């Protein structure tokens, strides 16, 4: 998988154009190089081997047409795509330059959005912070656009996300969604597949065609029985299909994964060489899966960093059920596999209930963290 930051070279004698280009791409992972004439441009192109060149026509020392001719006659540079940037749009001029070999032609003056969109057709632009492998934190803000003509659905999602710093932007029409994405780049989009006039599918295509928003994850929401629209969404490439009525725990789980959010801090903390895993009072399928996803990597991390003490604090848990039992088995297995010492903290009520289950009847429990620590 190619994770290299793309390189863009701007060859223009105007500092103003360089500044506008710099502003246009400030939110993207893109390495920018500047040259003020063709001679400098060829030198930078040879040294940096950029993925794309923006080339002005009228420049001192060596103009754009001569620079382009030299680029295309150099075996090492001839395959670099070139976009001409010029104030001169006459047909004759365009045809003359196109014959030498360019990928696109942008007429000055241009907007920052236009140049980002045209460059995005050639380069795989990634918005900063959205690149693969860079995890966000649960405490980080995120903007989630929800497009649904049923206000109750928007309210449900707002309620589900109320414990996070995420901002839910709810709109009732696709046009409002398009308007929002033209101004802001959301971290995630949820859209009802049953919006009128195939609105969700048109919205999807517009979002994917725009360089700024093409990497934003998009979830389609649909009632379970609407198989045809779900199938269409899947074949188009929607990142996930969420069925209604919404399972909010599952939805939160999918949203955090789609936004590459590290939720481990919600459960894990470290103090004086001891790692604490706090089991929340309410455990649903989302929490069970979430902790289960973290425990293996956290155990490995502990072993690699020389930490071998884990306190599993279940003192907030008042009722044991099969979800909790499964979670405990998962945690204990991971600790045993990697040789991590663990102690479990739980209330007397919790201890009584644990005895009733075959899987946890022999579990040694401590009243509080201090007693658990003493027992290591």
Partner 1 sequence: MASLEIDDGSKIIDSEAPTNFSGVTGNVSVTGKTIGILYLNMPERLAAEIASGLMGSSPDSISVDDVNDVVGELTNMVTGNLKSKMCDQGYPCTLSIPTVLRGSDINIDSVEKEIVLSGELSINSTEHKVNICLFAKLEK
- List residues binding partner 1 (CB under 8 A): 13-17, 19-20, 23, 58-60, 86-93, 108-111
Nearer to partner 1, 15 or 333 (CB): 15
The residue with tokens 């903007």 is 143
Cβ atoms < 10 Å from Cβ of 174: 23
User: What minimum distance in Å lies between the beta carbon of 65 and partner 1?
Assistant: 10
Let me know: does 201 contact 273? Beta carbons within 8 Å: no
SS3 36: coil
User: What minimum distance in Å lies between the beta carbon of 22 and partner 1?
Assistant: 9
- Both tokens of 282, joined, read 């309410």
Nearer to partner 1, 97 or 160 (CB): 97
Nearer to partner 1, 40 or 148 (CB): 40
* Rounded Cα–Cα distance for residues 242 and 239 (Å): 10
Query: Nearest 5 degrees, angle CA 146-CA 148-CA 154?
Result: 60
Let me know: does 241 contact 209? Beta carbons within 8 Å: no
| CA neighbours closer than 13 Å in the CB half-sphere of residue 197 | 5
Nearer to partner 1, 92 or 304 (CB): 92
Nearer to partner 1, 107 or 227 (CB): 107
User: What minimum distance in Å lies between the beta carbon of 101 and partner 1?
Assistant: 21
Which neighbouring-strand residues pair with 137?
262
User: What minimum distance in Å lies between the beta carbon of 221 and partner 1?
Assistant: 39
Burial string for 16-52 (b: 16+ CB within 10 Å, else e) reads ebbebbeebbebbbbebbbbbbbbbbbebbeeeebbb
User: What minimum distance in Å lies between the beta carbon of 23 and partner 1?
Assistant: 7
User: What minimum distance in Å lies between the beta carbon of 66 and partner 1?
Assistant: 13
- What are the percentages of helix, strand and coil residues in the chain, rounded to 5? 40, 20, 35
- Both tokens of 15, joined, read 């500092």
CA-closest candidate to residue 312, choices 284, 331, 334: 331
Let me know: does 25 contact 8? Beta carbons within 8 Å: yes
User: What minimum distance in Å lies between the beta carbon of 12 and partner 1?
Assistant: 9
Nearer to partner 1, 58 or 318 (CB): 58
User: What minimum distance in Å lies between the beta carbon of 90 and partner 1?
Assistant: 3
Nearer to partner 1, 12 or 308 (CB): 12
Nearer to partner 1, 14 or 289 (CB): 14
């Amino acid at each position: 998988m190619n994770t290299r930051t793309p390189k863009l070279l701007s060859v223009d004698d105007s500092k103003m154009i360089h500044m506008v280009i710099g502003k246009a791409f400030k939110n993207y992972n893109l390495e920018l190089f500047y040259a003020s004439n063709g001679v400098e441009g060829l030198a930078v192109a040879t040294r940096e081997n950029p993925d794309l060149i923006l080339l002005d026509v009228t420049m001192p020392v060596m103009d754009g047409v001569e620079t382009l001719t030299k680029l295309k006659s150099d075996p090492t540079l001839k395959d670099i795509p070139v976009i001409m940037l010029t104030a001169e749009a006459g047909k004759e001029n365009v045809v003359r330059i196109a014959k030498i070999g360019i990928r696109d032609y942008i007429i000055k003056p241009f907007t920052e959005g236009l140049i980002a969109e045209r460059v995005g057709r050639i380069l795989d632009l990634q918005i900063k912070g959205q690149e693969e492998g860079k995890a966000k934190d649960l405490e980080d803000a995120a903007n989630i656009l929800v497009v649904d003509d049923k206000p109750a659905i928007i309210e449900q999602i707002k309620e589900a996300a109320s414990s996070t710093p995420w901002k839910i932007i709810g709109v009732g029409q696709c046009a409002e969604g398009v308007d929002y994405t033209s101004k802001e780049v959301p971290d995630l989009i949820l859209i009802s597949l049953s919006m009128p006039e195939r609105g969700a599918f048109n919205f999807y295509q517009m979002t994917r065609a725009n360089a700024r928003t093409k990497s934003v994850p998009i979830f389609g929401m649909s009632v379970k029985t609407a198989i045809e629209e779900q199938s269409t969404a899947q074949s188009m490439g929607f990142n996930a299909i969420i069925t209604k009525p919404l399972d909010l725990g599952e939805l939160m789980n999918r949203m955090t994964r789609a936004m590459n959010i590290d939720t481990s801090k919600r459960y894990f903390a470290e103090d004086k060489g001891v790692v604490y895993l706090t089991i929340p009072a309410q455990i649903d399928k989302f929490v069970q899966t979430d902790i289960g996803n973290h425990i293996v990597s956290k155990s490995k991390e502990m072993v690699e960093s020389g930490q071998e003490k884990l306190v599993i604090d279940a003192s907030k848990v008042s009722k044991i059920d099969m979800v909790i039992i499964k979670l405990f088995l998962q945690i204990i297995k991971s600790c045993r596999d990697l040789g991590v010492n663990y102690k479990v903290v739980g209330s007397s009520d919790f201890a009584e209930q644990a005895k009733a289950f075959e899987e946890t009847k022999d579990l040694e429990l401590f009243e509080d963290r201090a007693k658990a620590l003493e027992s290591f």
